[in-house]
Amino acid sequence: MKMFGELFQEADWKKEKHIPVIECAEKVKAGEFFPVKVTVGKEIPHPNTTAHHISWIAVYFQAEGEKFPFEVGRFDFNAHGESMDGPDKGSVYTGSEVTVNMKVTKPGVIYVSSQCNLHGLWSSQKELQLG
């Protein structure tokens, strides 16, 4: 049996459409809000159809010296073109991109995970410094 952490896949986001890409400043001011943008399918677009889509993105922050990360937010994507007329005939689709504003008081690491309904769990991380 695999440990839960072993279920998460990682790769180069420029070559793999499932990787959550984290975009934010590398250094931020303590106690000031800053945007963190997460995109799945940044370089290679993810299809986001009824049959193949990103279900959710979750963002976490683990401050330096702290034992556990905190969940910053979880974002569910529920519209993938489903319709009473059949798959991909609906009038609304969601893209797999979110922006969350957050502030920190310590440096640390932003962790992001995402779920593709066909290809499982994916993750990435980015160090965050105070400056």
Residue of 42, 53, 97, 116 marked active site: 116
Q: Specify whether 46 is catalytic.
A: yes
Q: Specify whether 119 is catalytic.
A: yes
Q: Specify whether 6 is catalytic.
A: no
Residue of 14, 15, 119, 126 marked active site: 119
Integer Rg of the chain from CA: 16
Q: Could you tell me which residues come within 8 angstroms of residue 122 by beta carbon, excluding any fewer than 6 positions away?
A: 8, 9, 10, 18, 19, 20, 40, 113, 114, 115, 116
Residue of 32, 52, 66, 106 marked active site: 52
Q: Specify whether 80 is catalytic.
A: no
Residue of 16, 24, 82, 126 marked active site: 16
Residue of 42, 46, 53, 80 marked active site: 46
Positions marked catalytic: 16-18, 46, 52, 116, 119
